[in-house]
Structures are given as C-alpha cells and as structure tokens.
C-alpha cells in the first residue's frame, strides 16, 4: 500500500525514498524504554522512510524562527502486525525524529491511520525539540473510491497544499488531520482552507464543552443530594445544547 499512498497523494518522485529503516535505528535515537523496544520488535512488521521533503526537492524555503526550525518534512510508513499499543508506537516514532513527521500506519487488515505533531525548539538545548499537540486519526479504509475519507485524501494531495515554506506544507497536513475528528461528529469534512479554519475553531469549543459535560457527569455520579443532582443535570443539558449548536455550525461549513 506504500506505493498506492505515494501515487494517491501525488508525493513528488524527487522526494520519494520508500526504503526500509532498521527498527534498531529508533532505539538509540529516541532513547526508547525496554518495553517500547519490545513493542517495536513484536508488533511492527516494518518501518519505511517514505519521503523527505526539503527546500531543494520541494522548492519551498526552510522555516526558521525563535521557536521552530523546519528544514525537512519526513514521511514515515509503519506496517503493523496487530493493533496494540498504538499510541505508544506513534509517540515513540514522533519523538525519535527531530524533524516534523507525517506518520502513516497500516494494520494487518489493510486499515490506515495518520498522525502529525508540530515540534518546537527546546530553548534549553537547541539540539532537541519539544513535541506539541499530537494528532491521530481514526482507522479508515484509504482506498474507498467515494465517501468522506476519499475527500480527506483529496485535500491531502500534495499539489493542494501551501508551498509558502516547509512549515506551511506541514501545517496544512496537520490542520486537515485535525479536521478528521469532525467526521465522527457530523459525517463530513470541509473542502476549502477557509472553511477548515472555521471548523477547527468551533471544534476546539466543542471539545471544551465535551470536557465540561464529562466533569459535570462525574460530579453528578458521586452527588447524594437530589437538588444538587438536578442542578448538575440542568448544567449538563445546557452544555449539550451548546454542543448541538456548534455542531450545526460545523455542518454548514462542511
């Protein structure tokens, strides 16, 4: 399926490497624990360096600020033996490579997930980076010829991304993968960058309200006083109403 992804996303041939990386190469680089090494050994079939995008191969400048240094965007492809300890594998791959990584993982039954994570410079040691918010999609069938995940593949096609600099290329991918979460909420995703920004903004509010609902529900479970329980119930319903309003806004932009 690696070759299919290269063609489907129109990854420029001048950036494609598609070569296998020894698992041991990650052990020292990422300073993996004994249990993480065992997970890599037992649950990963193979790891591949799919593509390296840099200034020369993409004709996009390096991005350098006090917080970020993006000289390359690295695409890593992982073939799994089973869907276990997925989050630990994802985290280990991201922390093992200082450059921003677009991670594609393929399960033994042909499903796929994708992950990105912005990395800023460590102010105390400029040789190291600090991982920011990790984005991980749900498992999906990438080869469907229609449907919402086909739309996701369309917007991720390299020619549709921003080429202002290497940060903008990566951030475009990162923001589209953030939008993947709305598939489970409204069954679709935006198809324009303008609407994507609106959706991401509202999605953050939805997530905050969902956290509040969870907290209120936990309080309600342990509360013995009937009047207090009813008050919490009303607060939960208000939060749920806000979520429904926000989801309707998202539907209008998808």
User: Percentage helix, strand, coil, to 5, in the chain?
Assistant: 50, 25, 25
77 closest CA partner among 56, 53, 104: 104
Are residues 138 and 95 both part of a single domain? yes
Residue 188: inside a domain: no
pTM: 0.90
**Are 18 and 125 within one domain?**
yes
* One domain, residues 44 and 120: yes
Same domain, 171 and 207: no
In a domain, 121, yes or no: yes
Domain span including residue 239: 193-252
Cβ atoms of 114 and 87 closer than 8 Å = no
Same domain (yes/no): 95, 143:
yes
Q: Check whether residue 171 and residue 208 sit in a common domain.
A: no
- One digit per residue, the tens of pLDDT, for the chain of length 254 reads 899 999 999 999 999 999 999 988 877 666 778 888 888 888 999 999 999 999 999 999 999 999 999 999 999 999 999 898 999 999 989 988 999 999 999 999 989 999 999 999 987 776 678 889 899 999 999 888 778 999 999 999 999 999 999 999 999 999 999 999 999 999 999 989 999 999 999 999 999 999 999 999 999 998 888 889 899 999 999 999 999 999 999 999 98
Residue 182 in any domain: the answer is no
Q: Do both 121 and 215 map to the same domain?
A: no
Statement to judge: residues 48 and 173 lie in one domain: yes
Would you tell me how many other CB atoms lie within 10 Å of the CB of residue 118? Answer: 19
Does residue 183 fall inside a structural domain?
no
Regarding whether 165 and 96 lie in a shared domain, the answer is: yes
- Which alpha helices (DSSP H) does the chain contain, by range? 2-8, 24-29, 34-43, 55-58, 86-96, 148-156, 166-179, 182-186, 193-222, 226-252
Task: Let me know whether 44 and 141 are in one domain.
Answer: yes
Considering its fold, how many domains does the chain have in total?
2
Which of 112, 143, 177 is the endpoint of a domain? 177
pLDDT for 30: 66
Those residues whose C-beta lies under 8 Å from the C-beta of residue 185, and which sit 6 or more positions away, are: 206, 247, 250
pLDDT of 11 reads 97
Q: What is the DSSP letter of 140?
A: B
Same domain, 30 and 148: yes
Per-residue pLDDT, 29: 67
pLDDT of residue 89: 93
In a domain? residue 186: no
Q: For residue 244, tell me if it sits in a domain.
A: yes
135 part of a folded domain:
yes
Question: Locate tokens 């960058």: which residue?
Answer: 193
Domain assignment of residue 34, yes or no: yes
């Amino acid at each position: 399926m690696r070759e299919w992804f290269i063609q489907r996303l129109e990854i420029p041939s001048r950036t494609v490497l598609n070569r296998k990386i020894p698992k041991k190469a990650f052990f020292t680089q990422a300073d993996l624990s004994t249990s993480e090494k065992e997970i890599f050994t037992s649950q990963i079939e193979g790891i591949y360096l799919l593509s390296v995008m840099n200034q020369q191969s993409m004709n996009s400048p390096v991005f350098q600020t006090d917080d970020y240094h993006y000289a390359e965007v690295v695409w890593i492809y992982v073939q799994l033996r089973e869907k276990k300890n997925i989050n630990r594998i994802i985290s280990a791959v991201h922390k093992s490579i200082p450059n921003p990584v677009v991670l594609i993982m393929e399960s033994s039954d042909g499903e796929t997930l994708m992950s990105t994570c912005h990395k800023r410079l460590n102010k105390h040691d400029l040789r190291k980076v600090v991982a920011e918010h990790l984005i991980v999609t749900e498992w999906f069938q990438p080869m469907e010829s229609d449907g919402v995940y086909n739309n996701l593949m369309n917007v991720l096609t390299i020619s549709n991304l921003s080429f202002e600099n290497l940060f903008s290329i990566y951030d475009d991918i990162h923001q589209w993968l953030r939008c993947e979460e709305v598939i489970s909420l409204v069954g679709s995703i935006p198809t324009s960058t303008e609407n994507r920004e609106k959706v991401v903004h509202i999605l953050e509010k939805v997530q905050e309200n969902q956290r509040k609902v969870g907290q209120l529900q936990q309080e309600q479970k342990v509360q013995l006083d009937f009047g207090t329980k009813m008050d919490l119930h009303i607060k939960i319903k208000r939060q749920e109403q806000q979520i429904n309003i926000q989801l309707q806004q998202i539907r209008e932009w998808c």
